[in-house]
Amino acid sequence: MIKIVLKLIGKVVMVLGLIVLSLTCSAQNNIFNLIPQPVRLEQGAGVFILNANTVIVLATESDKGLGELLALRLKTLTGYDLKVVKTAHAGRTIRFLSDINIKGGKEAYRLEVSSKGVDIKANQPEGWFYGIQTLLQLLPVKSKQESVGLSVRIPAVKIEDAPRFQWRGLMVDVSRHFFSKEVIKRYILQMSKYKMNVLHLHLTDNQGWRVEIKSLPKLTEVGAWRVPRTGYWRNQKAPEPGEQATDGGFYTQDDIRELVAYGRQHFVELVPEIDVPGHSLALIASYPELSCTKTSQQVLAGDPWNASRTNVVCAGNDSVFVFLEKVIDELAGLFPSKYIHIGGDEVSRAYWDKCPVCRQRVKDEHLKSSEELQSYFLKRVSKIVLSKGKKPLGWYENLPGGLPEEMAVMSWKDDKGGILSSNKGQQVVMTPAAYTYLDFYQGDQYLENAIFTVNRLSTTFLFNPLPKGIEEKNVMGGQGSLWTEQVPNERKLQFMTWPRAFALSETLWTGAGKSSWINFINRVESHLPRLDKDAVNYSRYFYDAIVSGIRGADKTLLIALSTEIEGLKIYYSFDDTDPDPYYPVYAGQPLRIPKGAQNIRTVTYRDGVQVGRVMKIPVAEIERRTPLK
């Protein structure tokens, strides 16, 4: 008995030793661990000691808010309640300084930490704000209790930094599921810590209309509500007769103003999208007279799409444009953004082909087809947006009649839309699905409520907003786009966003390909405790085994295992027991499946510590994924 206990203690000591060793190694390799990586970083000698006597010194009256924001964050992180003062101060200071020599645009900054003090130099509030974010990442991750009353050590460093792209975005689809303004504020706060600066809100779709339009009250009285459903979206049952539409919600105009103000405080611009002429079932449920059929409809509850219902507004009916002018007018007054996104994607034109007024429009406007009618529609809505002093933005669609010339374009299916549009002189935002769609799953499809296809962290890391052939000067930047058919709550919203948004932040601020995957993943790992501390959920699936089927020479199914990150050991079992380090370790040779095995289970370890999940995948599932050619 004692022998066993001693053996166990020995093991624990060994494992702890390995943890300490691996922590010191990663700390030595990369003591700064910043995301995004700054443009230039030079390590200095010594440390700045931040304690209760440190004072924040403002540069001008106008950055008082920023000084207070820094003080508040430092209070949360360290417990110190630092004074914010206007004039120079002897002693240890964190100073905001104006420096007109800083190049790189309004978001550029310099951060200089020495044993004497911390200087954040910029010439615009944006620059100071990003200097603050970098400084906060230099603080050690400690719980408040651990650090209260202790001095906080910040390593000496000189950083010069400015973003590669002006549009560093995330899109949240608040239609498929509604997220309250509190959730959106927490999302804004989190993205701003990583220097992301655009939040594109997909406010309308088949599943809900989410913004109050005072002149069109039914949009939210009717269009914001659907019957409650949980589970896989494609298997949902349609509303039953008499069933109450109780699920949903919307932002009042006051909510929007509050969100816009919160965004402004964190240098995140809110860009509204209303998606027309397709994706419009919530609008049509509210005002059925605006569809071609004029028949009564219900807001989609996630039940499978069915061509017996149209989700497209009528392009032949002038009332539709009058209606959209009212919507756009109110949006233009609510959102200070230069852009209003008008959607324009995935229009099923079958009802337009059958509709007498749509056909009449085709004739009157000398259009060749309903495809050209789609261009006509977008051009007309673009003009409305322009008439309100805003710039139209829309999803790229390959239309023979083209897209409105003045419209900025989001390239979403792949890079092609961005390449073509940028060469025509249009501004583009890159969000190619394969790299940046955050609704795609991050781990094994069998273990997630998987939607469409996979997009692992290592794939998002490869996102390049400047593919070959693109007109670079017209690329505003890019974004991750989070569609929420399968995202019912805030925890899942965070889980789908992080850590992939780290990769987006790095690509859009620093530029693509500026650091190695290993360097990046080390930094990601060092930020996970920061997410934990902020109670932000995230995916750890990048620690898991990747399980794939391959066919051997005789067509028998073999199982290959791999990992996204290096240095992991994969243990596996076929005996329906959770494997551990006493099970066989995968050695690189694809596995033959023992006769009668029902499942493979895998687990990953690093330096003797479990890092990945135990995954159980049926052999039949792997068989299904690996068709005989």
CA distance 76 to 79: 6
The distance between the two most distant Cα atoms of the chain, rounded to a whole number of Å, is 94
The least distance separating ligand ACM from the CB of residue 395, rounded to whole angstroms, comes to 4
Kindly report the length of the chain: 629
The least distance separating Zn ion from the CB of residue 348, rounded to whole angstroms, comes to 13
Per CB under 5 A, 347 contacts Zn ion: no
Q: What does 358 interact with, of Zn ion, ligand ACM, none (CB < 5 to 8 A by kind)?
A: Zn ion
Would you state the structure tokens that stand for residue 190, as one six-digit string? 């989190």
Q: What does 74 interact with, of ligand ACM, Zn ion, none (CB < 5 to 8 A by kind)?
A: none
DSSP label at residue 195: T
The least distance separating Zn ion from the CB of residue 284, rounded to whole angstroms, comes to 12
279 catalytically annotated: yes
Per CB under 6 A, 396 contacts ligand ACM: no
Q: Which residues pair with 609 in a beta bridge?
A: 606
Q: Which is nearer to ligand ACM, 233 or 395 (CB)?
A: 395
Applying CB under 5 A, the span of 60-68, 164-172, 348-356, 446-454 interacting with Zn ion comes to 348-356
What are the φ and ψ backbone dihedral angles of 394, each rounded to 5 degrees? -155, 165
Q: What does 355 interact with, of ligand ACM, Zn ion, none (CB < 5 to 8 A by kind)?
A: Zn ion
Q: Which residue is nearest to ligand ACM (CB)?
A: 345
Distance of CA 368 to the CA centre of its chain: 39
Q: Which of 200, 279, 341, 527 is catalytic?
A: 279
CA distance 629 to 626: 9
Q: Which of 254, 318, 346, 576 is catalytic?
A: 346
The least distance separating Zn ion from the CB of residue 514, rounded to whole angstroms, comes to 50
Q: What does 412 interact with, of ligand ACM, Zn ion, none (CB < 5 to 8 A by kind)?
A: ligand ACM
The least distance separating Zn ion from the CB of residue 245, rounded to whole angstroms, comes to 26
Amino acid at position 275, single letter: D
In angstroms, the first-to-last Cα distance of the chain is 57
Name which position in 335, 339, 395, 538 contacts ligand ACM (CB under 6 A): 395
Q: What does 314 interact with, of ligand ACM, Zn ion, none (CB < 5 to 8 A by kind)?
A: Zn ion
Q: Which is nearer to ligand ACM, 395 or 495 (CB)?
A: 395
Q: What does 395 interact with, of Zn ion, ligand ACM, none (CB < 5 to 8 A by kind)?
A: ligand ACM
Per CB under 5 A, 292 contacts Zn ion: yes
Q: Which is nearer to ligand ACM, 395 or 574 (CB)?
A: 395
3-state secondary structure 26-70: HHHHCCCCCCCCCCEEEEEEEEEEECCCCEEECCCHHHHHHHHHH
Per CB under 5 A, 314 contacts Zn ion: yes
Name which position in 316, 343, 394, 478 contacts Zn ion (CB under 5 A): 316
Residue tagged 């088949």 (tokens): 206
Q: Which is nearer to ligand ACM, 202 or 523 (CB)?
A: 202
Q: Which residues pair with 207 in a beta bridge?
A: none
Per CB under 6 A, 412 contacts ligand ACM: yes
Q: Which is nearer to ligand ACM, 243 or 345 (CB)?
A: 345
Q: Which is nearer to Zn ion, 94 or 358 (CB)?
A: 358
Residues between 153 and 212 with contacts to ligand ACM, criterion CB under 6 A? none
Q: Exposed e or buried b for every residue in 76-87, given b needs 16+ CB within 10 A?
A: ebbbbebebeee
Q: Which is nearer to Zn ion, 341 or 361 (CB)?
A: 361
346 catalytically annotated: yes
Q: Exposed e or buried b for every residue in 164-185, given b needs 16+ CB within 10 A?
A: bbebbbbbbbbbbbbbebebbb
CB 489 within 8 A of CB 440: no
Q: Which of 119, 161, 205, 490 is catalytic?
A: 205
What DSSP string runs through 119-164?
EEEESSHHHHHHHHHHHHHHS----HHHHTTS-EEEEEEEEEE--S
What string marks each residue from 328 to 357 as x (binds ligand ACM by CB under 6 A) or -?
-----------------xx-----------
3-state secondary structure 579-624: CCCCCCECCCCCEECCCCCCEEEEEEEECCEECCCCEEEEHHHHHH
CA distance 253 to 210: 10
Active site residues: 205, 279, 346
Residue numbers at the binding site for Zn ion (CB under 5 A): 292, 314, 316, 355, 357-358
Residue numbers at the binding site for ligand ACM (CB under 6 A): 345-346, 395, 412
